[in-house]
């Protein structure tokens, strides 16, 4: 366990057949806004058939909502060729969300800011407002937890 013993050092998404990276070196001991608080999965999807996942990759969620690569790099990189993709974000305790448009990916990093209300998302009500902040809908399959929303970015 890293991050005060609360976060697993290996990704918890092995059921999705994603290679299991480890959180490297001192990254679990980072504090402040860049502290690692959880794992997420970032997906590249087909622009024409958004249900088709072309590549999935575990990534790390920071306290300030940024998502970083598992090596601590601020950009999540994929072994896919340059092209247009829809970007999806999944978390084990929240409903997934995806861009409502294709993002042109190339050698330059692309910023996808899901907290920005101007960002088009797939479907209606893909995000929830909590005060002035857009959040990912929390999910509770058991129906026992209080209904809350969690801000992940």
pLDDT in tens, 49-64: 999 999 999 999 988 8
Confidence of residue 152 (pLDDT cuts 50, 70, 90): very low
Q: Using CA atoms in the order 116, 122, 124, 128, what is the torsion angle rounded to 10 degrees?
A: -40
Domain-located, residue 25: yes
150 versus 89: which is more confidently predicted? 89
pLDDT digits (tens, 9 = 90+) for 13-36: 766 666 677 777 777 778 898 888
Domain-located, residue 75: yes
**pLDDT above 80 (res 104):** yes
Query: Residue 48, by phi and psi: left (phi above 0), alpha (psi -120 to 50) or beta?
Result: alpha
Closest CA to 114 of 149, 87, 76: 87
Rounded average pLDDT over 112-121: 91
Domain span holding position 73: 14-150
Domain-located, residue 1: no
φ, ψ dihedrals at 112, nearest 5°: -120, 110
């Amino acid at each position: 366990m890293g991050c005060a013993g609360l976060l697993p050092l290996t990704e918890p998404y092995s059921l999705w057949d994603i290679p299991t990276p480890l959180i490297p070196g001192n990254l679990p001991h980072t504090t402040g806004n860049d502290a690692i608080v959880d794992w997420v999965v970032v997906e590249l999807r087909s622009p024409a058939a958004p249900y088709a996942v072309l590549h999935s990759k575990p990534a790390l969620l920071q306290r300030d909502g940024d998502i970083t690569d598992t090596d601590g790099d601020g950009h999540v990189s994929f072994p896919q060729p340059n092209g247009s993709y829809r970007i999806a974000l999944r978390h084990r305790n929240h409903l997934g969300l995806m861009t409502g448009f294709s993002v042109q990916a190339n050698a330059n990093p692309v910023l996808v800011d899901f907290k920005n209300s101007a960002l088009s998302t797939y479907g209606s009500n893909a995000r929830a407002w909590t005060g002035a902040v857009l959040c990912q809908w929390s999910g509770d399959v058991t129906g026992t937890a209080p209904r809350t929303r969690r801000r992940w970015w």
